Chains A and B, each alone.
Chain A
Amino acid sequence: MAQTGGIELANLTKRFGDTLAIDSVSMTVPPGTYCCLLGPSGCGKTTLLRMIAGHDEPTAGDVRIDGQSVLGLPPAERGTAMMFQSYALFPHLTCLDNVAFNLKVRGVAKAARRKQAHEMLDRVQMDGFADRVPAELSGGQQQRIALARSLITNPKVLLLDEPLSALDEFLRLQMRGNLRQMQNEFGITFVHVTHTQMEAIAVADLVVVMDHGQIDQADRARAVYDTPRTTYVARFIGGQNVLSGKVVAVENGAAILDDARGNRFTVPTGDTAPGTGETRYLSIRRDRIEMEKLADPSAARDGTVNSVVGKVWMTEYQGTWVKVNITLPDGEEFVANIDDGRFFANPVHEGDMVLARWPAESVHPLEHRESSFDTSRGGMHT
């Protein structure tokens, strides 16, 4: 059976008065995909979700589900179901009646709808709570009821607006696994809005990184993490050190850059032909960094490429690795995540001068993109 629930957005634009919330977004979500819309608050991800759901109408552009335009259709006729951030469980109805609501408004007889609702509650392991009202449930239980209430409509696409934000840390980890499992079980498309990088990477097949109403990168989770397209994605997703320098030469498919601190880096040029003097950006994963203590900081660096020198200002033990925060001479921050075994075999301390270097093949070129996103606020600690 061919899977259904493919979503296509074509030049989708949304204005609220003078504000451009979504700026001509085009994207395709294949059927049966777990897709995460990821971005800082105000980036337009919830607006995008609401336009797919039919709760907001786009100013321009088209939303197609399985090839059919759904513009102007009410939510229920789009084959979508939305799970609201607050869950919006009806407080005056029991869990059973909440789940049976869609059947009730469609005119299904009482006995039949109760039977179906019980079955759906059973699938989310909540049948024991059928006669409770939402106020009696914990956040995680409410989420399951909300999920059951949406899934009973047999949607092709389930839209989840920050589904985990109301839960505490422990439950969040548990429920995100649960969501992924439900998506596998039902085999439908999930579109999940979040501002938490780890959450997106952990559950999604397709991660869509957004900023300012535009898509910066839409790719597999691993690609978004490992090979971010732009400086914005690299900084927002985190786990990367972002550096830049001016091109001084190009040889063997790599550009040689000098930065203002006197460091020299190499970066693969790919298909581009950088001109001398051009500024180029690159990223190196924090866990690809090698680090050694400098016995004599004033000693000459004898032309070591792909390295920086800085002062350790904080080390943070993370269990399997140690996060070493290094301040470069101009105040920029650089982070090395060192495997705990290697770190403790040769530890460094706050105040030590260190040389951090990386192999040339770990360098990933970036496109530069200005963003309002504040780098000190975001980023995963890996």
Chain B
Amino acid sequence: MAQHRKRPWTFYVLATFFALFVLFLYGPMLAIYILSFQGPTGGLTFPMNGVSLHWFQALFEQQRTGDFSGSFSRSILLAFLVMICTVTFSVMAGLAFRRRFFGASAIFYMAVASLVMPGLFLSLGIGLIFRVIDMPTNWFSSALGAQLTWSLPFGLLIMFAVLSRFDRSYEEAARDLGATNRQTLQYVVLPILFPGLIAVALFGFTLSYDEFPRTLLTVGPGNTLPLEIYAMTTTVTSPALYALGTVTTVVSFAAIILSLGSIAIIQWRRGGRFRK
């Protein structure tokens, strides 16, 4: 069909801006993914010297490329811990904030304030306190706490959005039908909120998985993956680094696809399985 109306000039300005954004977002990443399949004799830059999985293999040879499997499993475990804590406490806090309890807004602002605090200083402070109380910093203690200062406020804000669409008459109906508070939570509130909880879980997981500044000075002897990658950029001079980038991206995408996929399936079931 013929274009009847000429597009305004602002369209072209905004379209150019968006194209640049996409280029900056995906261009470099794409280059890294491609280079990770570099041949065994290839280097850190184009051109490709053959295609192979050589550098993915090299990842698991600890001496040459740093402690990949150690830091990877640490990061995944930590991300799961952060995810579980974030979901548990954000849900409880979110439900609590629906009532105007004494000090509600003070607690809310205190929680959200940690989003604007510089992560590196937070990390420094936590590391310092651990030294003062003479406890060793470790990824499962000090780093877990540091990451929660970041993921909990996020989780809480998402819960607010989720709960704002939650009709309280579901709870009243459950109570009307004889459910106890625990049964109301278990059979009605949590199942209805479940897609929202997956979103909180996804945020908890990914915020932890690629967290850097808060972890830097709290992680203790064993690095998490982002810290390990940062260390590698100065010591590893082979495409194994790119292979690492590809692997971690696959993990992130898997987490996202899993979450969004399960949300979609739940929504589809609630919308009616029998519909075409």
Chain A residues contacting B271 (CB-CB under 8 Å) are: 133, 135-136
Partner of B176, one of A53, A86, A133: A53
Partner of A76, one of B177, B266, B269, B273: B177
A75 touches B175 (CB 8 A): yes
In the complex, chain B residues 173-194 whose Cβ is within 8 Å of any chain A Cβ:
173-180, 183, 187-188, 191-192, 194
B270 touches A92 (CB 8 A): yes
For residue B28, CB closer than 8 A to chain A, the reply is no
B183 touches A133 (CB 8 A): no
| Proximity string of chain B (254-276) to chain A, C-beta cutoff 8 Å, 1 when within and 0 when not | 00000000000010011111110
In the complex, chain A residues 73-90 whose Cβ is within 8 Å of any chain B Cβ:
74-76, 80-82, 84-86, 88, 90
A75 touches B270 (CB 8 A): no
Chain B residues contacting A115 (CB-CB under 8 Å) are: none
B178 touches A133 (CB 8 A): no
B172 touches A84 (CB 8 A): yes
* Size bracket of the A interface: 20 to 34
Given contacts A82-B176, A101-B187, contact A88 B272 (CB under 8 A): no
Chain A residues contacting B180 (CB-CB under 8 Å) are: 105
For residue B134, CB closer than 8 A to chain A, the reply is no
CA distance A101 to B173 in the complex (A): 10
CA distance A266 to B273 in the complex (A): 68
CA distance A16 to B167 in the complex (A): 21
Given contacts A104-B187, A105-B183, contact A86 B167 (CB under 8 A): yes
For residue B169, CB closer than 8 A to chain A, the reply is yes
CA distance A321 to B59 in the complex (A): 90
For residue B170, CB closer than 8 A to chain A, the reply is yes
Chain B residues contacting A132 (CB-CB under 8 Å) are: 272, 274
A135 touches B183 (CB 8 A): no
B76 to chain A, nearest CB (A): 30
B191 touches A92 (CB 8 A): yes
Closest to A161 in B: B169
In the complex, chain B residues 187-245 whose Cβ is within 8 Å of any chain A Cβ:
187-188, 191-192, 194
Closest to A134 in B: B270
Chain A residues contacting B187 (CB-CB under 8 Å) are: 101, 104-105
Scoring B167, B176, B191, B273 by chain A CB atoms within 10 A of each residue's CB, the highest score goes to B176
Chain A residues contacting B183 (CB-CB under 8 Å) are: 105
For residue A183, CB closer than 8 A to chain B, the reply is no
